[in-house]
Amino acid sequence: MVPLKELLNFSILPIDKPSGPTSFQVSSLIKNKLNLTKTSHFGTLDPMVSGVLPVALGRACRLNEWFMHKDKTYVGIMRLHEEVDKKKLDATITQFIGKINQLPPVRSRVKRAIREREVKSFDILEQEGTDILFHTIVQAGTYIRKLIHDIGEELGGAHMLELRRIQASIFTEPSYTLYEVDKALEALKAGDETPLRKMLIPATEAIQKVLPLVQAQPSIVPMFLKGKPVMAKDILGKAPDAPYYALYHNDRLISIVKTVKEGTIIARPQFVYN
């Protein structure tokens, strides 16, 4: 069994963020509660939005490149400013399925320039008067509040009443409330590591769900741990046709590498776990 201290330095803790605090505040709170030197979150949630907020612990903070830029799933309530029949509502929503152009909100931290995003699905779960319960899957970086506003522009106006993220990349429910984290830490103080361990997703396991895996030649592992670039002879089997992949030695993560074409060099390390 991996020692808890080591696990805490390379794991992801999926938090159920409450409405109110910023994502940064929640990440900082987790850092302080777990007495860590560094934490970060994989995908910002607006303060008033709740739901799955993956918080990376320790060295796992360096993995955001491979987790943040994945699809997100939300459920929420859209309030129309006037009643609209379902046929017109469905027809309007259909116009916003697929690739759309979005201008980030004024209060966003990104540059305000029109950018293309993709709405994978937008399904009406229930309609009660002007309140619409919806489920949507979108490309990372899509602003749901802006999407609701733009849909409303075609329907006499609309705004987002409530929103909850239920999936961010590979991370989904169950996620854990801050209260549940506190209870796990109380158990830890009493000598029971089990509740906290159950909450942690080892980064070595998470990586296997987002990147192809390649086994390193055992004799080359010490050199890989020092940052050696990858040559075809250094791995078992063929390199995958992918921009990035993870090098392992049995179940042990060695590094994450980026595919290149530089003569005999086929990949270069982007992250080394030594």
Tens of pLDDT, residue by residue over 20-29, are: 999 999 999 9
Output the pLDDT for position 213. Answer: 96
Closest CA to 146 of 179, 101, 105: 105
The three-point CA angle 267-268-272 to 5° equals: 125
Closest CA to 138 of 165, 116, 162, 120: 120
Point out the residues that are catalytic.
46
Beta-bridged to residue 13, according to DSSP, are 55
Tell how strand 244-249 and strand 213-216 pair up: parallel
| Positions in the chain whose pLDDT score sits under 70 | 106-110
Amino acid at 166: I
Q: What is the pLDDT of residues 250-259, one digit of tens each?
A: 989 999 999 9
Q: Which domains does the chain have, with CATH numbers?
A: 4-68+171-206 (3.30.2350.10), 72-168 (3.30.70.3190), 211-272 (2.30.130.10)
Which residue type sits at 175? S
Q: Which of 207, 235, 224 has the alpha carbon at shortest distance from 60?
A: 207
pTM for this entry: 0.91
Tell me, what's the pLDDT at 110? 66
Q: Which residues pair with residue 136 across a beta bridge?
A: 74, 122
Q: Look at residue 98 in the predicted model and tell me its pLDDT.
A: 96
Strand 50-58 versus strand 72-80 pairing type: unpaired
pLDDT score at 174: 87
